[in-house]
């Protein structure tokens, strides 16, 4: 594809401003021979506002989960998870339903730090979240360019809580623009001939970032502990950006996704298209060895800023609620009826699509899915309760045989940290110090 | 209920904040003479615990956005170098000395304090590397310095300590001259300190109340700029973000052309109130409106024949102040009609600082279908019949006052053929009860209530100093004591900068001086 290097050059020369010119991909995954062998992958996918139905103890799937029927033997569904850690630090007299604020805590395995004042019902993370914790550890071993490929849909325009934290107190909000994500991940990856103008640009960026690092280092000395943590995370973000300036040559005959026609990524009507594109880009980036961790933020935590128009629920249907407008994802969730089931069904279909995509990448004698695990999280039980028990989480994939798939694991009120710790173990990453051990270790029954 | 006893202003740790998108944009405009290009969007911010925007950390996403913005700003600025360079090199030999001069003068404006010697040296080394090693021309090498300045922590965060150490007074730290200069400037103008203010900081004038007042009054002479800041405060105070306000085109077919006028009308109104040095109560009583050809029909006044906003006096039996203007009435509404709960909640929570009881446990929020025979009020009055009443009896009545206005603020006397009922009553935190037949009467009553002035002062304290909603009372009391009741909006706004909460902070854990 001669087009790719042309776009790369323009993107590198003009920075992000060039992305608006890029046609969007109809992504397809990279070819098998570019895949670094034997790497495990963690994919975290979350949507929120709960789900109405979950699997039965015998793994019978309800109608809204029927898209997962072909992958039943790949599923591991722990029933009865509860975020006890979050509850312990949460003041229900301030805001009775903890579900929304829980979105920021669900990938954390320690007590949250209350923010600034006691009236605050959010809270800030004391550590990296699971995806960044595992991602950083794996990155140290493989020197892949990104700790996490962090992608989302309609996320940053109406922020309502992010579960990913790249450091203590520093949220890692996703890139919710597939054009931009594509540009950043794939442009420049195929160049074999260094272009002198691009090389000059690279050296300049490096020189500027070197100064910025010195400045941040000096600045940090004047701060208290909490602020210094934030600035340290800023510094490591700058180091990450600088590290990526070293040209990333994708080895062998690896191909980047195909480019296609452009659309408005912040229009709710294109929600399905954007999530599909992000899944395609994310899987292609994993296949190309950009990272071993992919996080897909398939909805925001409050989700009152869009209506599932793509499922036939227009913004104005004549109903009024105090839970956001009309047919918003949030308002529909409080209804817990037909529209909610339709929305749940759609999210499970996207999950099935993700699994099919992972299974379409040949790796070793099988597919990339064999070495992967998808963790699906949700900040609530169902949409109306907004509670943090009976969390409808699930795993898909065994991560190279670590997890005992093909089962529902029946528990009652066990800490969600048992799943997070299990995932650390599956990747050979010690959770000591990261997870609060008072809430137990790996959930028994997960491991094959 | 008796008025709360006097409490001292709270002096708090000031957590590190980065520039908000508005501050960043104004800063780039002030430094480079042009705003950041729209093609490189700046990181936005969330709403902090006290209800006001709060930009805290910089993660990878934000850092990348700042990198892209810095490159775009520098690329644009290098095409206009003479307009802000202190020198123009005539020969190659002049270039380096000119770069040195640029770094010190421009660096002071960018960092809002004098540069440390090691900062100047490192920036010059960056220039030299760009020019001599990467072989960039003079302008692009200066551009490299601009990029570095914009991405620096010293530029992006509010913490401009400067050469002097903060002075300890008991448990409190008096902010340094340069910290006060920035805090003052961003509060009053929304942008960075100008050279005069930085000079005053250099002379050490800003740590005294008089010196601070002189500069505050000087900055406040630029009324449109202050109006911009008070409009920014008001947008957050009244939760008037219009970004996602959309209307059903079947019900309100022209809203897309009306929407861009909503916040400009608010700003124009505040500008008018400042120009006349009017008291706060004017914001709740003045029938002046600002219309153009798109919005005049909503108010039922003749189009002025202009797309610029023109001041008109509305029917004073219908309109009284900003709560009867289009921004509040359109944003606090649904896509197809009015929304008494949204409107009432703003009045209750943000205008009178009412405190709501806890909702009863495990009440499921419900979506009840609206019957075609129900008026909006009749539909929402169902709240009174179920457990929701414990909160909604406080939230809904102040919202019913605006039932004469539909979802975009058009006057109506009937809804689905039935007369509109906009009457109600509200208990104020001070214990006074106000009753009203309509919005104009409600606003007249509220404008005379001390609760509103106190709540305004508290909100201002949260916005201007970052204080939490349960620690702002002493600051508000001190502010009102200094201005007296019935003060002008202008005086109320400026009085905050004299507050101990504005000028002092506490030492943070782990911080050494």
Q: Which residue of B has its CA nearest to A97?
A: B362
Sole residue written with tokens 């090199």: B89
Q: Tell whether the model's pLDDT for residue B503 goes beyond 50.
A: yes
pLDDT at residue A100, as a whole number: 83
Which of A103, A265, A320, A330 is the best residue to mutate to test the B interface, defined by the most B CB atoms within 10 Å of its own CB?
A320
Q: Nearest Cβ partner of A115 from B49, B123, B126?
A: B49
**Residue B358 — pLDDT band, cuts 50, 70, 90?**
low
Q: Tell whether the model's pLDDT for residue B239 goes beyond 60.
A: yes
The radius of gyration of chain B from alpha carbons, rounded to an integer in Å, stands at: 26
pLDDT at residue B384, as a whole number: 80
A320 contacts on B by Cβ (under 8 Å): 334, 337, 339, 370, 379
The radius of gyration of chain A from alpha carbons, rounded to an integer in Å, stands at: 21
Within B78-208, residue ranges assigned H as helices are 92-111, 117-128, 138-151, 153-156, 177-189, 195-202
Tokens of A423: 């995932």
Lowest mean pLDDT among A239-253, A316-330, B309-323: A316-330
Q: What is the pLDDT of residues A177-211, one digit of tens each?
A: 998 888 888 765 544 556 777 788 889 999 999 99
Smallest CA–CA distance, residue A400 to chain B, in Å, is 30
State whether B153 and A216 contact (CB < 8 Å).
yes
Other beta carbons within 10 angstroms of residue A31's beta carbon come to 15
Smallest CA–CA distance, residue B18 to chain A, in Å, is 11
State whether B154 and A215 contact (CB < 8 Å).
yes
In chain B, the largest separation of any two C-alpha atoms, in whole Å, equals 84
Burial track A212-241 (b if 16+ CB lie within 10 A, e otherwise)? bbbbbebbbebbbebbbbbbbbbbbbbebb
Q: What percent of chain A has pLDDT over 90?
A: 53
Other beta carbons within 10 angstroms of residue B33's beta carbon come to 12
Smallest CA–CA distance, residue B502 to chain A, in Å, is 17
B335 contacts on A by Cβ (under 8 Å): 315-316, 325-326
Sole residue written with tokens 């992972």: A358
Q: Which residue of B has its CA nearest to A207?
A: B126
B176 contacts on A by Cβ (under 8 Å): none
Q: Nearest Cβ partner of A212 from B60, B152, B335?
A: B152
State whether A171 and B57 contact (CB < 8 Å).
yes
pLDDT at residue A141, as a whole number: 87
Name, in order, each residue with C-beta under 8 angstroms of A90's C-beta and a sequence gap of 6 or more: A98, A101, A121
Q: Label residue A149 left, alpha or beta by phi (over 0 means left) and psi (-120 to 50 means alpha).
A: beta
Q: Which residue of B has its CA nearest to A201?
A: B134
Q: Tell whether the model's pLDDT for residue B91 goes beyond 60.
A: yes
State whether A320 and B337 contact (CB < 8 Å).
yes
Q: What is the pLDDT of residues B325-336, one digit of tens each?
A: 999 999 999 888
Q: Tell whether the model's pLDDT for residue B353 goes beyond 70.
A: yes
More confident position, B166 or B280: B280
Report the mean per-residue pLDDT for chain B.
92
Q: Tell whether the model's pLDDT for residue B385 goes beyond 90.
A: no
Q: Tell whether the model's pLDDT for residue A96 goes beyond 90.
A: no
Residues in chain B: 513
Measure the CA–CA gap between A315 and A295, rounded to whole angstroms: 28
State whether B130 and A96 contact (CB < 8 Å).
no
Q: Mean pLDDT, to the nearest integer, of A408-422?
A: 96
Within B21-59, residue ranges assigned H as helices are 21-32
pLDDT at residue A352, as a whole number: 97
Collapse the DSSP code of B290 into the 3-class scheme (helix H, G, I; strand E, B; otherwise coil) and give the result: strand
Q: Tell whether the model's pLDDT for residue A16 goes beyond 80.
A: no
**B448 in Cβ contact with B442 (< 8 Å):** no
Lowest mean pLDDT among A240-254, A422-436, B401-415, B465-479: A240-254
**A37 in Cβ contact with A364 (< 8 Å):** yes
Q: Give the relative orientation of helices B138-151 and B92-111 as an angle to the nearest 10 degrees.
A: 20
Half-sphere exposure in the Cβ direction for A257 (13 Å, CA): 29
More confident position, A107 or A113: A107
Report the mean per-residue pLDDT for chain A.
83
Q: Which residue of B has its CA nearest to A213?
A: B152
More confident position, A396 or A11: A396
Q: Nearest Cβ partner of A159 from B16, B46, B248?
A: B46
Q: Which residue of B has its CA nearest to A223?
A: B511
Which of B365, B379, B468 is the best residue to mutate to test the A interface, defined by the most A CB atoms within 10 Å of its own CB?
B365
Bridge partners (DSSP) of residue A376 are A45, A394
Q: What percent of chain B has pLDDT over 70?
A: 97
Comparing C-alpha atoms, which of A169, A176, A47, A43 is closest to residue A108?
Answer: A169
Q: What is the pLDDT of residues B183-235, one digit of tens each?
A: 999 999 999 999 999 999 999 999 999 999 999 999 999 999 999 999 999 99
State whether A212 and B148 contact (CB < 8 Å).
yes
Q: Mean pLDDT, to the nearest integer, of A224-245?
A: 90
Q: Nearest Cβ partner of B136 from A204, A233, A322?
A: A204
**Residue B366 — pLDDT band, cuts 50, 70, 90?**
low
**Residue A17 — pLDDT band, cuts 50, 70, 90?**
very low
CB pairs under 8 A between A and B: 211
Q: Mean pLDDT, to the nearest integer, of A385-396?
A: 92
Q: Tell whether the model's pLDDT for residue B249 goes beyond 70.
A: yes
Q: What is the pLDDT of residues A62-72, one digit of tens each?
A: 999 999 999 99
Q: Nearest Cβ partner of B153 from A17, A170, A219?
A: A219
């Amino acid at each position: 594809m001669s087009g790719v290097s042309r776009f790369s050059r323009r993107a590198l020369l003009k920075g992000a401003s060039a992305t608006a010119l890029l046609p969007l991909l109809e992504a397809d995954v990279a070819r098998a021979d570019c895949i670094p062998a034997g790497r495990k992958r963690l994919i975290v996918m979350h949507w929120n506002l709960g789900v109405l139905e979950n699997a039965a103890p015998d793994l019978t799937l309800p109608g809204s989960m029927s898209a997962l029927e072909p992958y039943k033997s790949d599923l591991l569904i722990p029933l009865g998870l509860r975020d006890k850690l979050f509850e312990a630090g949460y003041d229900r007299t301030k805001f009775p339903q903890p579900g929304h604020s829980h979105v920021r805590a669900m990938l954390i395995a320690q007590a949250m730090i209350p923010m600034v004042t006691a009236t605050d019902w959010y809270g800030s993370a004391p550590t990296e979240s699971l995806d960044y914790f595992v991602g950083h550890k794996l990155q140290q071993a493989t020197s892949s360019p990104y700790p996490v490929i962090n992608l989302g849909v309609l996320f940053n325009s109406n922020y309502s809580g992010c579960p990913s934290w790249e450091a203590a107190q520093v949220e890692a909000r996703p890139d919710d623009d597939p054009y931009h994500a594509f540009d950043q991940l794939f442009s420049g990856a195929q160049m074999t001939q260094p272009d002198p103008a691009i090389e000059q640009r690279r050296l300049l960026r490096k020189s500027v970032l070197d100064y910025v690092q010195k400045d941040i280092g000096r600045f940090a000395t004047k701060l208290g502990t909490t602020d210094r943590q934030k600035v340290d995370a800023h510094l490591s973000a700058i180091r990450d950006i600088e590290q990526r300036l070293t040209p990333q040559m994708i080895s062998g005959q690896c191909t980047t996704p195909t480019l296609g026609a452009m659309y408005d990524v912040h229009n709710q009507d294109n929600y399905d298209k954007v999530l599909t594109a992000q899944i395609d880009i994310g899987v292609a980036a994993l296949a190309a060895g950009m990272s071993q961790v992919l996080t897909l933020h398939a909805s925001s935590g409050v989700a009152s800023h869009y209506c599932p128009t793509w499922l036939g629920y227009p913004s104005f249907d004549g109903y009024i609620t105090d839970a956001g407008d009309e047919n918003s994802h949030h308002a529909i969730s409080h209804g817990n009826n037909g529209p909610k089931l339709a929305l749940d069904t759609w999210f499970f279909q996207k999950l099935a699509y993700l699994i099919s995509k992972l299974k379409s990448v040949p790796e070793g004698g099988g597919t990339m899915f064999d070495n992967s695990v998808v963790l699906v999280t949700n900040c609530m039980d169902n949409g109306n309760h907004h509670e943090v028990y009976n969390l409808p989480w699930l795993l898909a994939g065994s991560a190279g045989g670590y997890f005992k798939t093909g089962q529902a694991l029946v528990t009652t009120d066990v800490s969600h940290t048992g799943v997070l710790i299990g995932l650390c173990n599956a990747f050979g990453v010690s959770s000591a110090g990261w997870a609060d051990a008072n809430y137990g270790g790996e959930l028994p029954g997960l491991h094959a | 209920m008796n008025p709360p006893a006097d409490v001292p202003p709270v002096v708090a740790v000031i957590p590190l904040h980065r520039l908000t998108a508005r501050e960043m944009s104004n800063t780039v405009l002030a430094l480079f003479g042009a705003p950041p290009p729209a093609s490189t969007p700046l990181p936005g911010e969330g709403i902090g615990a006290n209800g006001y925007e709060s930009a805290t950390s910089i993660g990878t996403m934000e850092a990348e956005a700042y990198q892209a913005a810095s490159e775009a700003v520098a690329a644009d600025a290098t095409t206009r170098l003479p307009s802000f360079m202190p020198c123009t090199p005539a020969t190659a030999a002049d270039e380096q000395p000119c770069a040195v001069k640029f770094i010190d003068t421009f660096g002071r404006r960018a960092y809002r304090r004098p540069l440390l010697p090691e900062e100047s040296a490192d920036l010059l080394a960056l220039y030299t590397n760009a020019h001599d090693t990467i072989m960039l021309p003079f302008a692009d090498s200066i551009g490299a310095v601009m990029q570095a300045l914009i991405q620096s922590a010293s530029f992006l965060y509010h913490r401009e300590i400067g050469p002097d150490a903060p002075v300890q007074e008991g448990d409190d730290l008096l902010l340094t001259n340069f910290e006060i200069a920035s805090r003052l400037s961003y509060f009053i103008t929304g942008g960075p300190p100008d050279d005069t203010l930085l000079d005053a900081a250099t002379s050490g004038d800003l740590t005294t109340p008089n010196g601070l007042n002189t500069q505050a009054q000087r900055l406040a002479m630029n009324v449109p700029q202050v109006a911009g800041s008070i409009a920014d405060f008001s947008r957050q105070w009244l939760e008037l973000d219009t970004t996602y306000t959309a209307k059903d085109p079947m019900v309100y077919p022209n809203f897309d052309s009306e929407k861009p006028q909503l916040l400009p009308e608010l700003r124009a109104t505040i500008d008018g109130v400042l120009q006349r040095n009017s008291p706060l109560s004017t914001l709740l009583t003045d029938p002046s409106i600002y219309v153009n050809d798109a919005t005049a029909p909503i108010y039922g006044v003749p189009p002025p024949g202009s797309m610029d906003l023109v001041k008109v006096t509305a029917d004073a039996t219908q309109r009284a102040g900003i709560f009867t203007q289009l921004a509040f009435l359109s944003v606090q509404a649904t896509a197809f009609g009015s929304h008494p709960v949204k409107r009432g909640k703003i009045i209750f929570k943000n205008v009178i600082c009412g405190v709501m009881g806890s909702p009863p446990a495990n009440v499921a929020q419900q979506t009840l279908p609206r019957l075609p025979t129900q008026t909006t009020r009749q539909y929402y009055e169902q709240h009174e019949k179920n457990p929701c009443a414990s909160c909604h009896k406080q939230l809904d009545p102040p919202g019913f006052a605006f039932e004469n206005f539909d979802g975009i603020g058009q006057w109506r006397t009937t809804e689905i053929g039935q007369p509109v009922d906009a009457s109600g009553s509200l208990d104020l935190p001070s214990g006074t009860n106000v009753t009203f037949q309509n919005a104009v009467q409600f606003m007249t009553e509220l404008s005379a209530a001390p609760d509103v002035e106190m709540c305004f002062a508290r909100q201002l304290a949260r916005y201007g100093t970052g204080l939490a909603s349960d620690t702002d009372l002493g600051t508000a009391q001190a502010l009102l004591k200094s201005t007296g009741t019935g003060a002008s909006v202008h005086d109320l706004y400026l009085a905050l900068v004299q507050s101990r909460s504005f000028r002092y902070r506490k030492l943070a854990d782990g911080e050494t001086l």
